[in-house]
Amino acid sequence: MRIAIAAENNNGLDSSVSPHFGHAAYFVLVDTDGGAIKSVSTIANPYCGSHGCGPVGQFVAEHGAQVMLVGGMGQRAIQALRGVGVEAVTGAAGSVREALQQYLNGGLRGTTPCREEGTHGGCHA
């Protein structure tokens, strides 16, 4: 399974999770098999800050992601990801490594959209 984690910087598993999907500068892509990490790569988000949810969702899907972990996102982003077959999971925090481990252990699940679309610096739920 390929899991994408929205990140603020380009430090692989040690990157900080982005608090908001539309402002993620990078996506860390992690390939897993049975809960074990097989490979890690990082890609820059060419749509960073554009709030064009559809193109970002499509970009993530084109890179093979099946799951997207992020601090928060609006309803439009959630729908854009679902529309391309990517499961959106909000509530991720800390390092990419910590969020990934929490997801793999079953402690990070579900999606709660931000109340305000396009909030800067995270959600105000």
Expressed in angstroms, the distance from the first to the final Cα of the chain is: 30
Residue 84 lies in a domain: yes
- By percentage, how much of the chain surpasses pLDDT 70? 86
Average pLDDT over residues 32-61: 85
Per-residue CA distances from 29 to 76, 79, 85, 120 (Å): 22, 21, 16, 24
Per-residue CA distances from 16 to 26, 49, 54, 78, 83 (Å): 10, 17, 24, 21, 27
Of residues 15 and 115, more confidence is placed in 15
Residue 73 lies in a domain: yes
Instruction: Note down the domain range covering 68.
Output: 2-104
State the Cα–Cα distance between residues 96 and 68, nearest whole angstrom: 12
pLDDT tens by residue, 89-109? 999 999 999 999 999 999 999
User: Distance between alpha carbon 64 and the CA centroid of its chain, in Å?
Assistant: 13
Token duo for residue 54: 């559809």
Residue 119 lies in a domain: no
pLDDT tens by residue, 32-44? 998 899 999 999 9
Residue 35 lies in a domain: yes
Which pTM does this prediction carry? 0.88
Q: Give the position of tokens 């854009």.
A: 80
Tell me what the pLDDT averaged over the chain comes to: 88
**How many structural domains compose the chain?**
1
Residue 41 lies in a domain: yes
Residue 123 lies in a domain: no
Residue 26 lies in a domain: yes
Q: What is the CATH number of the domain that holds 21?
A: 3.30.420.130
For residue 80, the SS3 value is helix
**20, 4 Cβ separation under 8 angstroms:** no
Residue 71 lies in a domain: yes
Confidence of residue 120 (pLDDT cuts 50, 70, 90): very low
